[in-house]
Structure 1
Amino acid sequence: MRKFLFIFIFLFNIILQTFATHNRAGEITYRHISELTYEITIVTYCYTISAADRGSLEIDWGDNTSSVIYRVEKVSLPDNYVKNTYVGLHTYSGTGIFQIVMIDFNRNPPILLNEPIDKAAINEIFIHNPSAYDPDGDSLSYELTTCLGANGEEIENYSLPETSNSFYVDAVTGDLIWDTPIEVGIYNVAILIKEWRFGVPIGSIVRDMQIEVYETKNHPPEIRDIKEICVEAGDLIKFEVFAKDIDNQSITLRATGGVFQLNDESVEYFEEVQGIAEVRDTFRWLTNCSHVRSNFYQVTFKATDNDPGIKLSDIENVMIKVIAPAPKNLIIEGKNNSIEIEWDKSICDKAIGYKIYRRYGFYGFVGDSCENGVPEYTDYELIKTVNGLENTDFIDNNDGNGLIQGYLYCYMITAFFQDGAESYASEEICTELVRGIPLITNVSIRNTSKTRGSIYMAWSKSKEFDTLQYPGPYDYIIKRSEGIWGGNLQEIAINDGINDTIFIDTMLNTKDYPYSYSIEFYNKKTNERPRTLIGIPQIASSVYLKINSRDNENWLKMEKNVPWLNEKYFVYMEKENGDFDSISFTDSIIFVDKNLPNGKEFCYKVKSFGHYQLENIIDPIENFSQINCGTPIDTFPPCPPELDVYSFCDTLYNFYFIQ
C-alpha cells in the first residue's frame, strides 16, 4: 500500500498584508526529494526602502516543529523592489496533511501611557484617556466594547453605565467621556483600541478598567482648550498649558504622549508641575525631518486636583502634525509637445520619492498650515509618482502621447514617505508649450444641409518652431472625420504656404453628423530633406446640437471636442421670418427651453463662446452649431378618473332582465 504526504499551503499573501509592510507579495512552493523529505522554497518580493532586510526566515512546518531557512538569492528589481529566495529541507515523521506557514511580523503594539485610576463624581463630566502611543506611527481608533469575565469570555447581559446624557469614546482622540454619572458605584468598561496601517486593521488591544463613582462636593479642574497644531519640520512648537480649579485646591499638571518617547531630546521635558488654584507650564518641541509622519502626534495633558477626599481630573488632547517642507526651486521649460520639470532634492532624507500634479490654468493655491499634499478641490491631477529621493526631474509628455497646444500647464510637486505622508505642496509654476504647431480656432457650421452643408475652418499661423531644423517651405494638410473624436481622419485638402490658415469644407451632411478636423503642419520635401511633420496636431470638432422634446419643453445638449475652453453657449431660435434671434445663454452644455406649446416645431442653433489660456490668440473663439428642431409633446399619461360609488341601502330592488 502506498503512503502519501499531503501538504496544505497557507495563503501567504494574507500574512504579508497583515503583518509586514516591507513584504509586498510572495509564495511558498515545494518539491519532493525522497520518501518523506521535501524541499520548500519561499519567494518574497520586498520594498527596499524599508529598513527590514531578512537574510533568513523562520518557517512552521505544520508538524509542531519549526526551523530557520536561509536566503539563497537576492535579485534587484525596478522601482525599489527586490526578489528574495529562501530554500530549506524538511523530513516529516509520517504521512498526513500539514500546513506550512511563514509569518514575517513587522509591528509593535500600541503602548498605553496613562494609568486607569481616575475617579468620577456624580453630576460631573468624567474623562479618561489611555494616551495610547504606537511606536510604528500606525493609526489608532477607539471604540467601546463588551467587558470580559472568567476565561476571557464576554460578560453576559453586559450594559454600559447609566448616564444623564451620554457615555461614549471619541474614535480619534480616545477620550472616554461619561456625561454624567448619576449613581454611586463601581463600573466596568472596556475600550477597544485598533491599530491601522494603510487603511487595513493589523491588530488591537483592550483597556478593561473600573471606574469608581463617588458623591462629593469637589469639582474637577479645567484645562484651557488648545487647538490642533501643524508645523513644517524644523519649526519650534511652543505653547502654554493652563489649568484652574474653582475650588482653589492644589493642581498637578502632567503630560503624556508619543513625543516623549522619541529619545532624541527634541522635546523639552514637560515636568510635573503644581500650583494652587492655577497652574501653567510651557510645552516646547524643536521638530526635525525624523518626526515627519502621516498621522498626528497626540499629547495628552492631565490636570488633577489634590482634594483630600476624592481627587478629580480633566483631560486636554493636543493633536500635532509635523509636515515635510515643500520641494524647492521648481524649474519648468516648455517644448513643442512636452514640458521638462526639475526641482531640488527634499531636505528630508526619509522621503522616498515625489508626486507630480498638473492642472490646466493657474489656480493660486495657498494652503493652511495643516494642508499638506495637493487637495482635490484645486482640480490638480496626480500625473506621476517618481520613486527615489535623488530623482528630481521629469518630462511630462502625456505618457508618450504628447501634450496638446493651447493650454497653460501648471504644476505642483510634493515629497512622499514610506508611511504615506506627503510634504507641503511646492509653489505653483506654469508654462505653455512652444507654439510650433497651428492652433485650431474655428470649426463653425456655415450651412445646415444633408448634402450641401459647409463648415468654416481657421487656425493660428505656426510660429516659434525651430526654423533651423525646419527651414521650409511649408504647407498644411487638413484631415476630417465624422463624429467629434476624430476616429477616422482622412486627408481632404492641402493649404500651401505658412500664411494660408483658412479652409471652407463643403458638400457635407451637417444636419445629421458632427465633423472633427486636424491640421498637420509640414516642412515640405526638398532635395536635401524628406517631408517632415512638425509637432503633434490637435483635433477639434464642430458643436453638434441634440434636442430631446418633452412636455412643453425642448432639452438642448451641446456635444463637442475642442482644445480650447468654452465658457458659454448662446441659444438662438428661428423666428417666423426665418431669421434667428438670441433667446438665452448658458454656461452648461444643457439648456432647457420651457413653457412651449405642445405640437409646434421650434428650431435652434447655438454659438459657443470660448478662449485659449494663451496670449496673442484670437479671443473670443466663437463657433456655430448646425440648426436642429424639436416639437414638444405631451409624454405624460392622463390621470385616472375618480370613481365615486354609492349604495342605496334604504331601498332594495330586484332587477330582472326581460328578453
Structure 2
Amino acid sequence: FTIQENRYISIHQYNAAGTYTIYMQDPNRVDGIDNIEGSVNVPFYLESVLCFPDELLYGYNSSVQLTNPPIDFANVGQIFTHNPGAFDPDGDVLRYSLQVPLQAPGLNVPGYEYPDEYTSCDDTFTIDSLTGQIVWETPCVPGIFVIRILIEEFRDGQCVGKVSRDMQIEVLDNNNNAPNIEPLNDTCIIAGQSLNLFITATDPDVTQTLTMTATGGPFVVDESPADFASTPSTGFVDGFFEWNTVCNHIRKEFYTVIFKVEDDYSVGFSEEPLTDQEALIIYVIAPPPENVAAEAQGNSILVTWDSLYSCYGADNFLGFSIWRKVGCDSLEFDECQRGLTGFGYDSIGFTDTLHRYRDFSVVHGQIYSYRVLAEFGVRSEAAPIFTYNEVQSFPSNNACAELKRDLPIINHVSVRNTDTENGSIFLGWYNPVADDLDTLQNPGPYTYTILRSPGFTVGTPVETVAFFEYTNFTDIIDTFLIDTLINTVDGPWAYTIRFESNGNVLGDAEDASSVFLSSNPADNRIQLSWNFDVPWENFSYVVYKETPTGSDVFDSIATVAEPFYVDSNLANGATYCYYVTAFGQYTAESLPNDTLINLSQRICDVPVDLEAPCPPDLTVSNICEEDAVSFDPADLKNDLLWTNPNNSCADDVIGYYIYYSPMQGGSFSLLDSVNFADDTTYQHTNLESLAGCYAVTAIDSFYNESAFSNTVCVDNCSDYNLPNVFTPNNDGANDLYTPILPIRFIDGVDMKIFNRWGALVFETSDPMLNWDGTSSVTGSTLEEGVYYYVCYVFEVTVTGVQKVEEPLKGYIHLIRSQE
C-alpha cells in the first residue's frame, strides 16, 4: 500500500512558560474501523503537548521524532509487532503507553475497545513502556483496528512534552507467514568504540523476498550517525549495523534501534506484506578516567589521574567527581556500569578542570580506596550553571593509600568500671613506626601527653591525664593506660595522644571516645542505643544483660550490626541492667589485623508504660436514621458505640473518656467517662438538639490516654410543615395560622404572605407564625380568599443555624364563615 505524508509547517511564539497543546482535528475517520463503532462519523484527532518549565533549570526542548510510519499489516494467527521508532534529540527519557483515542481535546472516542478487548479469542495486546515495542499475540479475526500511542518525555522527572499518535493496523487472513528476526540482546558500549552487529531474519515461506531496514536514534544524531547495510534476499536476509560512537553520543537515556524485516506477499496487484520488528537498546557510556593513583603526603592523600581524558572536549562534559571508601576494594563492574552508587563509596569532591584532588579528611589507621568518575550533563542554554540529564562514566580503576604511621593510633577506649566517682577506662594505642617517622629528622627525646575531654571529641575543657617521656625512639614501649577516678555514668570520655619530638609537636592521635549506652524505657520493653566517635570501623555489637538483676552476672542476649536494640517482653516496674561490647577494626595494611573490643558503661532502667493505647473506632446513631418521625422528648438522644482496643491493638485498656462539642469545628469538652473496657456504649440523653460531634479516647492501666477516635458529627432532622387553611372567626378553633405542631429543630423563619395581586400582607420571623388574618402592613382585617406564601426555614444544625436552600411555598385558604 502507499502511505501519503502531509507536512504542515507553521511558526508560533509563546509568551510565557507553561503547558500548551497543539492539535489537529478531521471531522471523519476511515470507514469500517472495527474497534470504533461508526468510525466514519467519529472525528479524527491528534495532539502534542508542549511543556515549558523554568528554562533556567530545564533549558529548551525539541519534540520527539517518530521514525516509523503509523500504519502496518497483521495476519490472523501470526504475532504482530510494531515500534513507532521514537527518538528524542535532547536525550530525554521517553515512556510509552496505550491510550483511548481522542475525538476532541480531552474527549475520548465513545465505545472504544482495545484490539484484544474487541476480539473474543485469548489474545493480548501490549506495549513496552521503555522501548515502545508493540506486540499483538495473536490476532484472530481480520479487520481494521486503530490504537493510540502516548509518548511522554521527561527531563529529570519533569514532564517536558507529550506526543499522541493514532496508528492503523489492518489484519488480513492470508495464506502467509510473518518473517522473523533472530532475538537481539540489549547492549552498551564505551564512547569512542565501534558497535558492529549482524542481524539475521528468516521466513517460513522460503520463496518470498525479504527486505531488512533499520531506524532509530543512532541514525539521526548530528555527529557520526550509524549505518545499516542489507540486500534483499529470498527466504533469508541479513544486515550489518555499524556505529562508530563518539563522546557527544554520551547521554543518560539509552538509544533505541528498530530493525524491521518485511516480506513481499501480495494478492494480485495489492501488496499486503507482513513484518517483524525488534527493538535494540544501546547505552553509550562515558569512558572512565585512567591511571588513577593515590599517595599519602603528610596528613593528606593526593589522588591523581591522566590529564588527557578522551572525552574532555565533549559538549556535555562537566568535570570529575572523586569517590572514596574505607578499605581497599577489589570490585569488578558489569560492562554497563555507570557511577558508584550502591558500592559503599562516598563522593568527596568535584573538579571541572584539574586532574588531581587532595583528601584531607583521612585518619591514621585506615586504608582508603579511591575512584574517579567523569560527569556529564546538558547545560541549560538560558543559564549554563544549571544542568539536567546528568550521567556518570564507567568507574575508574581504584587506587589505595593510607597515611604513614608517624603518630600514635588509639585502638581502645573501653569502660572498666561504671561509677560516678570511681569509674575507670582502659585506653590503648599503637605506637608510631620509626621508618614512617624518620627519626633522623625527628630526633628524641619523645613525649606522649594523654589528653581527655568529656563528650565524644576532645575539645574544651581538656585536661592532661598522663605524661610519658622517652630518651630514644626504641624506648617507646607503652601501649596502654588505665584512667581512674572519673565519672563514667553520666557521659562518654574522649581521648587523644599528643606526640612531640625534641620539644616539637608532631601531631595528635585521632580522637577516640568511649561507647556510651543510653536507654529509653517503654511499655514492657527497654530501647537501648549507643554512640561513639572513633577512627576505626565498628562492625558488630553484643548486648549483655544482668541475669538475674543484682547478681553481677551478665549474659549476652543479642548480637547486632547497628547501634540499636530493643529488649522486649519485660515486666513493667522491674529493674534491668545492660552493657554493650563493640567490635571494630582498622583497615590499614600496616597495622595488626586485630579485632578491637571496647565496652560501654553499665546502665540500669525500669520499663514503664508511657505509651498511649490505640484509639477506638466510633459510630453514633439517633432517631434521624429512622423513617418514622418521633416527637417524644425521651427520643432526643444520641447512641454512641465504639470498639474495644483490647481486641485488636492494645492489652491493658481499662476505660474510656467521651468528648463532646455542640458544633462541628468547635472545641471538645469532657462529657463523661466509662470505667470498664468491655463497656463500649454510651447514651447522651436529655438533649434539646441532636446536633453535635463526639470523640472517644481509651485509657490504659497506667492512665495513658489514647489519641481521639475518629470524630463523628451527627445532625438534626428538622420537621416544619404548614397547613393550607385556617378560620380566624373568633370561635376559639383554628383562629391562628400556625405550623403543624409539633415542630423540631427550627430556629426561625422568614415568612411572607401575599394576596392574589401579589401584595405583601403579612411577614414574620417567628416560627410559630401566629397569623390572625389581619395585615401586618395596614393592620386591617383581610377578606376571605386564597393567599400565597413563601417561607424560608432556618434550622438548627451541627454547623450552626442554616437556611434551608429551598423555601416552602403554597396557598392558604382564609375562611371566616361559621359554616
TM-score bucket (shorter structure)? 0.7 to 0.9
Q: CA RMSD in A?
A: 3.6
* 1:583 and 2:556 are equivalent in the alignment: yes
Structure showing greater relative contact order (alpha-carbon pairs closer than 8 Å, 6 or more residues apart): 1
Structure with larger Rg: 2
3-state DSSP of counterpart to 2:219: helix
Aligned AA (2:294): I
Aligned in 2, Cα 1:139/1:595: closer, same or farther, shift over 3 Å?
closer
Which residue does 1:657 correspond to in 2?
none
Task: Among all aligned residue pairs of Structure 1 and Structure 2, give the percentage whose two residues are the same amino acid.
Answer: 35
CA apart distance, 1:177:
3.3
1:208 is aligned to: 166
Deviations 1:14-36 (A, max 9, x none): 99x97799x747xxxxxxxxxxx
The corresponding residue for 1:141 is: 95
Q: Specify every segment of 5 or more residues in structure 1 that has no aligned partner in the other structure, as ranges.
A: 1-9, 26-103, 526-530, 646-659
Quick check: 1:254 aligned with 2:213? yes
SS in 1 for 2:453: strand
State the Cα distance separating 1:549 from its structure 2 match: 5.3
State the partner residue of 2:487. 509
- The corresponding residue for 2:328 is 362
Determine helix, strand or coil for the equivalent of 1:418: strand
Which SS does the other structure have where 2:71 is aligned? coil
For the residue of structure 2 that corresponds to 1:246, the secondary structure is coil
Q: Distance in 1 between matches of 2:443 and 2:52?
A: 63
Matching residue within 454, 465, 468 for 1:482 = 454
Q: CA deviation at 1:367?
A: 0.9
Cα distance, 1:386 vs. partner?
A: 1.3
Partner of 1:435: 405
1:159 aligns with 2:138: no
Displacement of 1:322 in angstroms is 2.2
Distance 1:183 1:423, change over 3 A: same
3-state DSSP of counterpart to 1:362? coil
Match status 1:426 vs 2:385: no
Indicate if the aligned counterparts of 2:231 and 2:237 stay in contact, CA closer than 8 A.
Answer: no
Give unmatched runs, 5+ long, in structure 2. 1-14, 21-49, 117-121, 379-389, 471-475, 611-649, 655-675, 681-819
CA drift of 1:479 comes to 3.2
Could you tell me whether the CA contact under 8 Å between 1:472 and 1:523 is conserved in 2?
A: yes
C-alpha distance in structure 2 between counterparts of 1:13 and 1:214, whole Å? 45
Which one of the candidate residues 79, 87, 90 is aligned to 1:125?
79
* Pair 234,447 (structure 1): closer, same or farther in 2 beyond 3 Å: same
Q: Contact between 1:572 and 1:580, CA under 8 Å: does it hold in 2?
A: no
- Cα distance change of structure 1 residues 595 and 199 upon mapping to structure 2, 3 Å threshold: closer
Alignment-derived partner of residue 385 in structure 1: 350
Q: Please show how residues 288-307 of structure 1 align to structure 2 within 5 Å.
A: 288-307=246-265
TM-score (norm 2): 0.59
Show the 5 A alignment for 1:56-75.
Answer: none
Asked whether the equivalents of residues 548 and 555 of structure 1 are also in contact (C-alpha less than 8 Å), the reply is: yes
- Kept in 1, the 8 Å contact 2:451–2:466? The answer is no
Letter in 2 for 1:361: G
Which amino acid letter does the alignment assign opposite residue 368 of structure 1?
D
Equivalent-residue separation in structure 2 for 1:550 and 1:194 (angstroms): 51
2:309 corresponds in structure 1 to 346
- Counterpart Cα distance in 1 of 2:130 and 2:492: 55
What's the CA shift string for 1:433-487, capped at 9, x where partnerless? 1233321111111211122111121222234246566545443343333333556
Displacement of 1:226 in angstroms is 0.6
Provide the secondary structure at the position in 2 that maps to 1:269. strand
- Structure 2 counterpart of 1:125, one-letter code: I
Pick the aligned partner of 2:531 from 555, 559, 578. 559
Tell whether the 8 Å contact from 1:254 to 1:272 is kept in structure 2 after alignment: no
Letter in structure 1 aligned against 2:310: I
Deviation, 1:280, is 2.4
Distance in 2 separating the partners of 1:627 and 1:323: 55
Aligned mates of 1:105, 1:569 — CA distance in 2: 51
Q: Give, in angstroms, the shift of residue 342 of structure 1.
A: 0.8
CA distance in 1, matches of 2:432, 2:184: 60
Say whether 1:613 aligns with 2:594.
no
Per the alignment, in what secondary structure is the counterpart of residue 334 of structure 2?
Answer: coil
Give the alignment partner of residue 419 of structure 2, picking from 449, 453, 457: 449
Amino acid at match of 2:334: D
Contact 2:184-2:280 within 8 A present in 1 as well = yes
Paired position in structure 2 for 1:332? 294
Q: Decide whether aligned partners of structure 1 residues 279 and 333 sit closer, same or farther in structure 2, where only a CA change above 3 A counts.
A: same
Q: What amino acid does structure 1 have at the position aligned with 2:214? A: A
C-alpha distance in 1, partners of 2:492/2:375? 46
In structure 2, what is the equivalent of residue 86 of structure 1? none
Q: Distance in 1 between matches of 2:564 and 2:585?
A: 20
Q: 1:115 to 1:503 in 2, by over 3 A?
A: same
Q: Find 1:603's aligned residue among 570, 577, 583.
A: 577
**Shift of residue 319, structure 1, vs aligned partner:** 0.9
Provide the aligned length of Structure 1 versus Structure 2.
541
SS at match of 1:259: helix
| 1:238 equivalent in structure 2 | 196
Deviation at 1:129, TM superposition (A): 1.0
CA 1:343–1:18 in structure 2 vs 1: closer, same or farther (change >3 Å)?
A: farther
User: What TM-score comes out, normalization by structure 1 length?
Assistant: 0.73
Partner of 2:357: 394
Secondary structure, in 3 states, of the residue corresponding to 2:332? coil
Which secondary structure does the structure 1 equivalent of 2:529 belong to? Answer: strand
Q: Report the Cα distance in structure 1 between the residues aligned to 2:576 and 2:171, rounded to whole angstroms.
A: 79
